[in-house]
Structure 1
Amino acid sequence: MSYAHLPGLPVVDAMTPPVLVLRGPLTGDEVNGPCDALRTLLESGGRRGTTGAVVVCDVGGLGPPGLAAVNLLARLQLTARRCGGRIRLRDPSPALCALLDLVGLRFEMEGQPEQREPPLGVQEAVEPGDPAV
């Protein structure tokens, strides 16, 4: 029996989410392009996670954070949810994280465990005499 070898690593390629690279500086009018690109990536098969397709948004090139960046990320989050997916931020600056926290927007960051996953290497301590659960 023989078969054609497909290019790439099938297991790795199936697990790697698509990436949307965002560049700055931003103005308030530059929202529709990235939202359309995100919608296309989600519809073309972002990596399926526990709650839908995932697209990584590389925000390292946005430049100094401001309200235009907050507006763009909020609209991208809304677009992803409307498409049944979610976004994960890659390489956010500490200033951007602080600004997002200040305005009350929560984003999943790449490299952090998902909400339902315990961090790797953390084990619960069991005290002698604790009742079994």
Structure 2
Amino acid sequence: MDTSQPLVITLPAHPTREDLARLCDELAAAPPREVVCEISALASADLAAVDALARLKLAARRGGHRIRFEGAKPGLRALLVLSGLEGTLGL
């Protein structure tokens, strides 16, 4: 597997527990590398979205990955600032 290129994953509009489990399993199975998580499809800026991002960040960290989230909408950014998690999640 080529680890010189980032692993790109996409969070669906309404991520389910199964979606998150699948993405976390994908991160666990991949060799350590940079991960880009595309989150522009997220339908709403709510605590479920924040939970999904936090779970992916934790799974990436456990696997030795460096993850960055791309495509955050202003509402999600505002919620992360309000919750104090903007810096933690790297947005």
Fold agreement, TM-score > 0.5: yes
Per-residue CA distance 1:21-51 (angstroms, 9 max, x = gap): 1112234x3431221122234x2x5xxxxxx
Contact 2:36 2:70 in 1 (8 A): yes
Q: For the residues of structure 2 that align with 1:24 and 1:38, how far apart are their CA atoms?
A: 20
* Residue 58 (structure 2) pairs with residue 108 (structure 1): no
Decide which structure has the larger Cα Rg and report it: 1
Match of 1:26 among 10, 15, 21: 15
Number of positions where the alignment pairs a residue of Structure 1 with one of Structure 2: 86
Runs of at least 4 residues of structure 1 off by over 4 A? Answer: none
TM superposition score normalised by structure 2: 0.78
More helix by share: 2
For structure 2, the 5+ residue unaligned runs are none
Name the counterpart of 1:98.
78
More strand by share: 1
Contact 1:35 1:79 in 2 (8 A): yes
Relative contact order (C-alpha < 8 Å, sep 6+): which is higher?
Answer: 2
**What is the Cα deviation at residue 54 of structure 1?**
1.4
For structure 1, the 5+ residue unaligned runs are 1-12, 46-52, 110-133
TM superposition score normalised by structure 1: 0.56
Name the counterpart of 2:61.
81
